Amino acid sequence: MVHWLRHDTGGLLLLCGLAIALLLVLIIRIRLEPFISLLVSGLALALAAGLPVSQIVGTALSSKTSLLETGFGGILGHIAPIIGLGTILGAILEASGGADVLTRRLLNVFGEKRAPLVMGLVGLIFGVPVFFDIGIFVLAPLVYITARRGGRSLVLYAMPMLAGLSMTHAFLPPHPGPVAASGLLGVSLGWLIVMGLACGIPAFLVAGVAWGTWIGKRVEASVPEDYTVGETAREKATEEADEKTREEAPAADPRPEPSLALVGLVILVPLVLILLATFGAVWWKGSGVLPVLTFLGTPAVALTIAVLLASYLLGIRRGIPAKELSDLATRSLRPVGMILLVVGGGAFFGAVISATGVGKALASTMADAGLPIIVLAYLISCGLRLAQGSATVAIVTTGGIVGPLLHGEHHSQAHLALIAIAISAGSIIASHVNDGGFWIVSRYFNLSVRDTLKTWTVLETILSVVGFAIAATLSTFI
């Protein structure tokens, strides 16, 4: 039986399907942690396919690296420092008040009439270094204030902001999903940034600005009562005091707010360094500057530089003690452990798929059906997202399935980046009740389940479909 399964395309695909079904049952029905679910499913698939135990977990007498070690170690060595440093960078930006500065400056430039667009831009810019849920916690009060001043529905201001946060979280490093896809597919972060922006910005404009403005005029939502009560008078008094302080004695504040230029510098430095390293081999080939750019543009090095800059410019120089910054970094890293374990579990699952020959069987079936790999990647990711709700699980599981299909195909880095974007786009489609983000949006923006489905769920679907459509279109030319 095992021999037939290992050498028959249908049998291998059946095994893969059963392993994914087991994964979904463990996550959805049994409510097992995704990391443990991925580990159990990967081990079950390996054993069912007849892989030797020594290959799966290794032995004390063997010097060969096991699938368990290569699966976890290979991906975590790539993404752990990137996600960790990105998390610390976001925490420093959050604590420094960078979001408030950004919001006020953009409102001054665009005016109150374009406040929904401003909130979208704030979400887009601030979302680069900050996790999606943290971005909501930080920016929600600013949305409340803007909505109350404008006298319009909270939805009108929240949807563009959410689109900006969601787009950067799905398509751009240093967020866990894109970074994991980068490692699983072997694509450089520089190309991922380029393609993420190329596909994500139009998707943001359609989902956040166009759809957000349209639905914001049709769904009413007021500022949550527990925020409104006692806040209006305090906010007014605080604004008056702040205005007086700024006019009369701005230098007297022991912790003056950071300038917009500093906030922008800290966000842009790692992105620019990574991009220079990615394209430096073309622009400065053979030049002595190339090794320098390659070193500085290595994602871990670029983010280390950004964290050091942020620590000094937004922290120490503004009077924040080093001990406080250290405590802030420690607190911010607490949720990262489970993210890394989930990504490692997904990489192990993918390593098993490759070792069992499922990847080749799937490639053969896909070739017979004439289905482009970018479409297959998107559909698998969509299915996993809809079934179990976690975008990260959808990305790492899809990456593990699709990754082996790319071996030996000689895809360019640009094309690999577009496949990664397709996977990321599928991972955010149709956020609904099995997604934690759905309930965060519902709670923070005072929306019923029905209204959350009409606004947030549709927004995520538009963001997904438009992002994928652009990636698929570009892949035909690249």
**429 has a pLDDT exceeding 50:** yes
- Predicted confidence band of residue 255 (pLDDT cuts 50, 70, 90): low
> What pLDDT was estimated at residue 270?
93
Least confident of 8-17, 272-281, 299-308: 8-17
**234 has a pLDDT exceeding 50:** no
Rounded average pLDDT over 15-30 = 86
> What pLDDT was estimated at residue 246?
44
Distance CA 463, CA 252 (A): 45
Rounded average pLDDT over 180-198 = 93
Distance CA 206, CA 155 (A): 16
pLDDT for 363-387, tens place per residue? 677 666 778 899 999 998 998 898 8
> What pLDDT was estimated at residue 367?
62
pLDDT for 169-186, tens place per residue? 999 998 989 999 998 899
User: Average model confidence (pLDDT) for the chain?
Assistant: 85
> What pLDDT was estimated at residue 283?
73
- Predicted confidence band of residue 34 (pLDDT cuts 50, 70, 90): confident
pLDDT for 85-142, tens place per residue? 999 999 998 888 888 888 888 888 888 889 999 999 999 999 999 888 889 988 998 9
Sorted by sequence, the CB contacts under 8 Å of residue 100 that are 6+ apart come out as 142, 257
**244 has a pLDDT exceeding 50:** no
